[in-house]
Amino acid sequence: MEIKEEVKKVKQSAPLLAGMSEEKRNHALQAVAEALLSAKEEIFAANAQDMEQAEKDGIAAPVLKRLKFDEGKLHDVAEGIRDLIRLKDPLFQTQLARELDEGLTLYRVTCPIGVIGVIFEARPDALVQISALCIKSGNCVILKGGSEAIRTNKILFQIIHRAVTEAGLPEHSMMLLEARSEITELLECDGYVDLLIPRGSNQFVQYIMNHTRIPVMGHADGICHIYVDKDADIRKAIPIILDAKTQYVSACNTVETLLIHEEIAEKLLPELGKVLKEHGVELRGSKAVQELTGCVKATEEDDRKEYLDYIVSARTVKNIREAVDHINYYGSHHTDCIITENAQAAEEFMMLVDSAGVYQNCSTRFADGYRYGFGAEVGISTGKLHARGPVGLEGLVSYKYKLFGNGQIVGDYASGKKSFHFRDLPLAERRSEC
């Protein structure tokens, strides 16, 4: 397949999709949900083949869990699509209405980004979620999933593409890449692709950034921390830590490093170490943590490690500033939490930690588009431009300025013949054309 020519067709379809009504996009989404449920046996058969091959290849258990696409995941993605349908349309929303002069009115109105390329891990449900979000937001999408899920991704794409095409969306509004070599060709399509969203290791994201002129929204490592403050409630701390580590161990929002205030260490760590062991979690700790739990020694490498496994590192800190400094230096700016009953300490932590998500007294596993009410996510951005954190519908739109005049020319204003009298209008007074 000539990638550039196919991507060009997607680019040509972008304005057509961008102009489609909310009703038509929602109708397409409903068709997708129904088509997936109707073809479940076909999907499960393809996934069984992927699972069999992955097991032969010695794929790690946490990855196998993500690869599995069963009744539960099918139900979840179908419900996610229905939730998405119910969400407010992100397009054609007037963000600003301003009269520059009499008869000269400016509007800022949301619009799709255009063509989005998403490279994601071996998680077939991600293909469904990404596709649905792009349909809702009026964006064309180019998908490249992990090779471990190649059969599942192919059948899911075929079902979704057929459903949206029959529902009236442009034939080339979606595209699936199957070979790893096609990524290199995609990176050269800067004239046709408006945004790339790579999901994976920091090394992989950096590779993408360094080998393309296309803007990249990075979804890098999830090196998430929990800091247990001296004023923490231990009855809250242990269940939170356990959930953050074990609820779904291979997710990017699982906790990887624990920072324990030295004043609470003796009270917390022996019990925490016992609970983690009971749940199959290997604890790696600093000298102080070792003495209180009998765990194995942690190294500086552990401070930078995204385990995605039943392993967590821990060390004691003297105060909240030491915890903040550690997080900002070793973390990936994803999601970090403080456990404390001290409101001032929580405020200081949330202000100083430079991460997309900063929490108090709750699991880092809440860092998720679905749990934020975004209708799932295309990824979690650890950067600051243009979206940050779980990227849902809001992060998939841009805006354009619409200026309506009646013969005005700049020369009149430059000469002083006319002057601006800027006046913000209530958004309710927006033009119907917007």
Give burial (CB, 10 Å; 0-12/13-18/19+) of 23.
exposed
**Contact present, 369 and 344 (Cβ < 8 Å):** no
Question: What is the C-alpha separation between 389 and 378, in angstroms, rounded?
Answer: 11
Question: What is the C-alpha separation between 272 and 235, in angstroms, rounded?
Answer: 11
Tens-digit pLDDT profile for residues 117-161: 999 988 999 999 999 999 999 999 999 999 999 999 999 999 999
Query: Would you state the pLDDT for residue 24?
Result: 98
**CATH class, 224-366 region:** alpha beta
**pLDDT of 285 above 70:** yes
Sheet holding 224-228, edge to edge: 296-297, 282-285, 311-317, 255-261, 224-228, 335-339, 357-360
- The region, left, alpha or beta by phi > 0 then psi within -120 to 50, assigned to residue 280 is left
Q: CATH 3.40.605.10 spans which residues of the chain? A: 3-220+384-396
Tens-digit pLDDT profile for residues 29-52: 999 999 999 999 999 999 999 999
Q: CATH 3.40.309.10 spans which residues of the chain? A: 224-366
**Contact present, 342 and 293 (Cβ < 8 Å):** no
- Yes or no: is domain 3-220+384-396 CATH 3.40.605.10? yes
Q: In terms of Cα–Cα distance, which of 184, 207, 120 is closest to 156?
A: 120
**What is the residue-averaged pLDDT of the chain?**
94
Tally: H helices and E strands in the chain: 16, 17
Higher pLDDT, 2 or 225: 225
Mean pLDDT of 327-347: 96
Q: What are residue 259's phi and psi, to 5 degrees?
A: -115, 120
Mean pLDDT of 98-109: 96
**pLDDT of 181 above 60:** yes
